[in-house]
Amino acid sequence: MKKIEIFDSSLRDGAQSEGISFSVQDKLNIVKALDDFGVAYIEAGNPGSNPKDIEFFEKARGLKLKHAKLCAFGSTRRKNLKVEDDPQVKSLLNAGTQTVVIFGKSWDLHIKEILGITKEENLSLVYDTVSYLKANGKEVIFDAEHFFDGYKADPECALSVLDAAERGGADVLTLCDTNGGTLPSEIYEITTVVAKKHPSTRISIHCHNDTGCAVANSMMAVAAGATQVQGTFIGIGERCGNADLSIIIPNLQLKMGYKAVEGDLAGLCGTSYRIYEISNLIAPTNKPYTGTSAFAHKGGMHIDGVDKCRNSFEHVPPESVGNSRRYLMSEMSGRTTVIAKIANLAPELNKNSPETKIILDRIKELEHEGYQFESADASFELIVLNILGRFRPHFKLQMYKTSGEYPPPDGEQSAYALVKLAVDGKTETAASIGNGPVNALDLALRRALSTFYPCLHEVHLTDYKVRVLSGDQATGAKVRVLIENTDGKRVWTTVGVSTDIIEASRQALVDSLEYYLYLREVN
């Protein structure tokens, strides 16, 4: 297989994304995740720009990487300094990385208006910096900033910058769509020109997503001769983000026959979710390859088709990227959907089993009342287990009471909850104060149950969503509450519906705890 080098810039370009703030430990954790997955290069930051990056590079010296090369990032020398006297060039050498990435101007607009120098002077900046770093034993990747805009404005100027970098000894020439405004057809045409002009030098592509074309542009550049793709693993970056490597990598390996990473592609989902977690971001459900909806089927005809022939509605097997197939329950579901959905719970059932009709009728009845089970798999499983007589409740909530007051007496916690529940004939009462009645109820439930089930301290609520179902009834409207929980290994979601938001939350909270206790029993 032909090889495409994957160059990840999550720690540099990705760190410039709005809402992202990596700690030094965050950066080290991301490096480990990317290296384990097998990317070729990790651009880790600018060692001359801030104390955090300086500390990172100091700690990174002790890393034992299996696959990736760490890269320090910086600019060409300043116009009024000799390269050996430039502080930021010195910082690149002091970073201790085998590879350095240097960016230089390739658009005449920036050369004249931003740097305030001539084209010839700009070529000297590029040549001097690249050749100096090569003389100091570094692998040099040269990023031609704004290359595509520069080429469209003045092809001769843009190409001369690449020539200067190659004469200086650059190992890689990176064509940057820095403003993200170039279209795929233009990327292909211009990259073809560069690849033919520099046949002995590796060509890299660096795209931003301002037109939504960063992934497509990167793929077109590869088709035109690029052998390295830069991006960020989950697509973060300035403005609209960078090319999303979690989409590009499987495209390259599964669609185009390239070898892109040294690790197992089945680790794609796990690596992606690890980086989302470290970045404190929520992974989009509809993300290609890695999203929870990427292989989710709802329509009855689709589910019937997939059940008979897996590739009838799936372009790749979900397990090839570490994902899994999901069947979604809704009012559109038929018996085939129910059978597919409960295959692991009740493999003995078929479309003609009377229990199948009972389950389907119950789901449709509840969805008519406002319940939704597409995302609430845990609540769906509990319903099925109850109908099949395979579930025994672990506790009975006999009474709960919540109250709130404004302003909060302590300035923060504003609500109280009291619960009384029974477990195997023994009762327990507990009260709690929380940030609102739902939080107080959650805390009181856990406090009362901890006497019987101390394992519940492992369960943490990770998401809470409220949807008003009938807005025409104003504040008396029915609401649907979805609650997501995790024990650090698994994630499950439950649902509750009521005209009382506290009661809807109570239903979802009870289901979430019951489901975890059920999992503990069967696993």
Euclidean distance between CA atoms 102 and 523, whole angstroms: 53
Catalogue the E-assigned strands of 156-245: 172-177, 202-207, 228-231
Taking 60 as the threshold, does the pLDDT of residue 331 lie above it?
no
Which pLDDT belongs to residue 334?
63
Judge whether residue 471 has pLDDT over 60: no
pLDDT digits (tens, 9 = 90+) for 119-142: 999 999 999 999 999 999 999 999
Q: What is the pLDDT of residue 475?
A: 63
**% of the chain exceeding 90 in pLDDT:** 74
Instruction: Give the integer Cα–Cα distance in Å for 254 and 1.
Output: 12
User: Going by DSSP bridges, is the β-strand pair 99-105/296-297 parallel, antiparallel, or unpaired?
Assistant: unpaired
Q: What is the 3-state secondary structure (H, E, C) of 300-363?
A: HHHHHHHHHCHHHCCCCCHHHHCCCCEECCCCCCCHHHHHHHCCCCCCCCCCCCHHHHHHHHHH
Amino acid code (one letter) for 476: G
CATH code for the part of the protein at 396-522? 3.30.160.270
* Residue 242, helix vs strand vs coil: strand
pLDDT band at 332 (very low <50, low <70, confident <90, very high): low
Annotation: CATH topology of 2-263: TIM Barrel (3.20.20)
Q: What are the residues whose beta carbons fall under 8 Å from the beta carbon of 312, sequence distance 6 or more?
A: 305, 306
Instruction: Name the average pLDDT for the chain.
Output: 92
Q: Does residue 329 surpass a pLDDT of 70? A: no
Query: Does the pLDDT of residue 49 top 90, yes or no?
Result: no
Q: Which residue has the higher pLDDT, 144 or 274?
A: 144
Domain limits, the chain: 2-263, 296-387, 396-522
**Distance in angstroms (rounded) separating the CA atoms of residues 320 and 102:** 36
pLDDT of residue 79: 94
pLDDT for the residue numbered 511: 97
Q: What is the reported pLDDT for 350?
A: 83
Kindly provide the residue ranges of all beta strands, DSSP E only, lying in 81-227, ordered along the sequence: 99-105, 139-145, 172-177, 202-207
- pLDDT value, residue 469: 83
Predicted local confidence at residue 253, as pLDDT: 97
Closest by CA position to 8, among listed 71, 74, 96, 102: 71
Region 486-497: mean pLDDT is 89
pLDDT at 292 over 90: no
List, for residues 225-241, the tens digit of each pLDDT value. 999 999 999 999 999 99
